[in-house]
Amino acid sequence: MAGPLEGLEVVELAGLAPAPFGCMVLADLGASVTRVDRVGGAAAVPGDVLGRGRRSIGVDLRRPEGVDLVLRLVARSDVLVEGFRPGVAERLGIGPAQCLARNPRLVYGRMTGWGQTGPLADRAGHDINYIAVAGALEPIGRAGAPPTVPLNVVGDFGGGGLLLALGLLAAVYERDRSGRGQVVDAAMVDGAALLTTFLHGMSAAGAWPGGRGENLLDGGAPFYDVYEAADGKYVSVGALEEKFYVELLAVLGLADGDVPSRHDPANWPALRARIAAAVATRTRDEWAALAEGTDACLAPVLAPGEAPGYGHNAERGAFVRVGGVAQPAPAPRFDRTPADVPAPPPVVGEHTGVVLGELGLTAEEVAELRRAGVVG
């Protein structure tokens, strides 16, 4: 894989969602990621897009011989990533102490929901629990309704995998000065909380006075919301600044003097009704066409399957097809060291022989390990 991280060697202990996403980002940008899969694990399926761009070896980590193979991989790598509950990697013999003893320059990434310490560290949980405790779930939703679950993008991927990738690269950067590796404790509850920093600032400044769904950026303001069009689809409106709001009214065919002043929140319900009535007169795509070339801040709300074919996305190549599956392209973009189109996700154990050969094992030794069930 080409990209700015070409030459970075990463060992990934197979897991779910956030850690694979973080490793996908690294692989997309050129890192060589070798995933250690469970022997006998399910083969990759076309929809496993988080597994793209990897090599896969099958190893039985319950066997001392399997643990030794992972430690040999660690000895020649820059980064190891695991997403087990606290203490599991140590019990397997591949915790930070064991790995850093083999390679003092190793950056050891730990991806969990609650973190390595604290009263909840050993408890089970999922994205919705982590963002709830982080204060990221409560503000999302309509006034008078329960919080809206924002898929699992805030905890698993934004506050989890993406912050993991950033932390790993920060530690690699620091290692170039100190010569020493370290442990990166990436917790989704920490990352989700970090994503709400702006909200805490607005609240402290008195710019977030209302409850859920009653403020400027949470759907409370009628000029920052979504509206249903004539075909049952939706458009997004984000005309915060006055000059953009004027253009929005022009696109909608509304005169500024004929609508209530937006500067008084008491007028917001009436203004919302006027905007909604206007949007309901045309289809989503008709509104998108009318807004094209303007600064009305009106854009169509696209389903994930529609996004790859949208004109702007298509022209920029924001989506690619990998293994026959349309999916987001690597991001961000680099002018001198652009990333390649990712390779499809590997079959479990697809590269076992090649990787073990790089560790110095002969074909006969690999075959014996296969017969013993240590590798697959």
Catalytic pick among 126, 200, 256, 285? 126
Q: How far apart are CA 315 and CA 331, in angstroms?
A: 15
351 catalytic residue (yes or no): no
Query: Strands, E, within the chain: which ranges?
Result: 9-13, 32-38, 54-59, 79-82, 107-112, 182-187, 224-228, 234-238, 298-300, 319-322, 325-328
Closest CA to 19 of 89, 103, 106, 83: 83
> Are 128 and 203 spatial neighbours (Cβ–Cβ below 8 Å)?
no
Catalytic pick among 28, 78, 156, 190? 156
> Are 23 and 36 spatial neighbours (Cβ–Cβ below 8 Å)?
no
**Which residues are registered as beta bridge partners of 33?**
10, 54
Residue tagged 């850093």 (tokens)? 100
> Are 159 and 192 spatial neighbours (Cβ–Cβ below 8 Å)?
yes
Closest CA to 302 of 316, 290, 315, 313: 313
The DSSP line for 265-333 is: GGGHHHHHHHHHHHHTTS-HHHHHHHHTTS-S-EEE---TTTGGGSHHHHHHT-EEEETTEEEEPP-S-
Positions annotated as catalytic residues are: 126, 156
